[in-house]
Structures are given as structure tokens and as C-alpha cells.
Amino acid sequence: MSTKIYTIERPDISSFAPLQSSFMALLGERERQSVERTRKEKDKIEKILGWAMCRLEASSRYGVPPVEIRIDFHEKGKPFFPDFPDFKFNISHGGGIVAVAFCDHHEVGIDVESGARKVNPMIAERFFTPAEAEFLQKTPPQQRSHAFLRLWTVKEAYLKMTGDGLSKPLNSFEIQHHGDEIKIYEDGKVQDCTVFQYETDQQQIITVCVNTFPFPEKKVKKKFEVLKFLLNTPKKVVPSPKIYWQ
């Protein structure tokens, strides 16, 4: 049992453009519609890469062509593989990074944010519990924005793990730091989940939440090589994932 976390940082727009249609051809109808509704080109690319990574990983694991992998959505939008219900995944993108987490048997949620982003920590009181807001208040001012984003990604990763998304208020559960461990409390009870958080060289905060303890063995990979491989692939040819997706 393991958790795989794949990231692609700063996909190169001009190099990606000629391959866009090949990638799009891998996606299902709902994924395509979601991409088409997205206005900014760089956001589109992040979305396409996220869905493509999911399909290619499932394809490589189950030996089904990526385009034939079925992806369905729970009521509140969480995607899943109906044909492989024990193979869980979640996607996050934004601020120049795409990240996908896969986990066997256990629900998983992932969230990314640029740690360089400046937020006004004063908004903490709107979204966070009084104890979380106090925790931020006690953080040195120059680190507060960053601490806010770290907390925020834990909140989102947790809500994406449960599948509630932002339909559930962010202050209906609480994040507590126990030494290096992050615990989540709801109705005074610690939740059966584990949080793994790290930052990339580019200051991207990546937070993954799984509903098991301890955190399953982690495999963290940057998938630059995927893009590089695709760039050298003749146009309109969708390469076999087995070649590079190991």
C-alpha cells in the first residue's frame, strides 16, 4: 500500500501548445468541458495535465488505454474511477503547479498553493476557528501569510479527502499541531486521517490528507520527464504510458 504524489511545476506553455490536442484526446467529456470553461491558457494547461496524469497512471496500472479509463464524480464533485474503486486519487492545480495524489484503499485529498502568495491573515477570523486564528496571531508577522497558506491547504486537502469540498464550512473542524504532526479535530474528536505537507524548491506548498494512520509509504515524483518525452513525440501521436510512466 502506498501513496504516490506526482507534480509538474511550471509547465511550459509554448512547448505544450503543439501537444494540447493529443492530451485533450485522452480526456472524457466532463473533463473536456471543465477545460473548455477555463479562460486562462495556463489554467487550462494545468487542468489538462492533471486529468492526463490520472488517466495515464490508471492506464499504466490496469493496462487499459487512457482514453477508456472511466472517471465519474461524487455528488459534490470528487472524481473517482468507477471500475477501480480501491484506487483513489485527487488533483490540485494552481499557481504554476499541477499535483495528483493516488492512494490504494484510502480516500485521499490534495491541495496546492503558492507559498509566495501574499494573503491578508486578518481574513483568518472569517474562515478559521478561534484557536486557529489565535495560532496565526501568535506567529511572527513576517511568517503569518505563509502560515495562513499552510493551514489553508490542510483545510482544503481534508475537505477534498472527505469529498465535501467547500460545501462544508472551513471552521467546522480544527487543525492542531502536535509537535511535527498535524491533527484534525471535529466535534472535539481527532479524525482518522494523516496529513503530509511539504514545499517545493519553488515555494509551492503541497498538502496531502489520507484517511488512514500512519501515512502510507510515500513516493513523490516530479514528472518533468513526462513533458520532455512528449515534446519529442511526433504530433498527434499519443504515446503509450508504459514507455515513460514508471
Q: What is the nearest approach in angstroms of ligand COA to the Cβ of residue 229?
A: 23
Residue 142's CB: how many other CB atoms inside 10 A? 7
Nearer to ligand COA, 90 or 200 (CB): 90
Q: Which is nearer to ligand COA, 30 or 228 (CB)?
A: 30
Residue 57 beta carbon to ligand COA: minimum distance, rounded to whole angstroms: 14
Give me the residues that bind ligand COA (CB under 6 A), please. Answer: 34, 47, 50, 76-79, 90-94, 109, 111, 156, 159-160, 163, 165-166
Nearer to ligand COA by Cβ, of 150 and 160: the residue is 160
Least distance (Å) between residue 243 CB and ligand COA: 25
Backbone angles phi, psi at 159, to 5 degrees: -65, -25
Task: Return the residue nearest ligand COA (CB atom).
Answer: 165
DSSP-assigned letters across all residues of 133-201: HHHHHHS-HHHHHHHHHHHHHHHHHHHHHHT-GGGS-GGGSEEEEETTEEEEEETTEE-S-EEEEEE-T
- Give the span between the Cα atoms of 158 and 163, in whole angstroms: 8
Select 135 or 152, whichever has its Cβ closest to ligand COA: 152
Q: List phi, psi (to 5°) of 169.
A: -60, 140
Q: How far is the CB of 90 from ligand COA (least distance, A)?
A: 5
| Bond from prior residue into 214 cis (ω within 30 degrees of 0) | yes
Q: How far is the CB of 30 from ligand COA (least distance, A)?
A: 8
If the CB atoms of residues 19 and 48 are measured against ligand COA, the closer one turns out to be 48
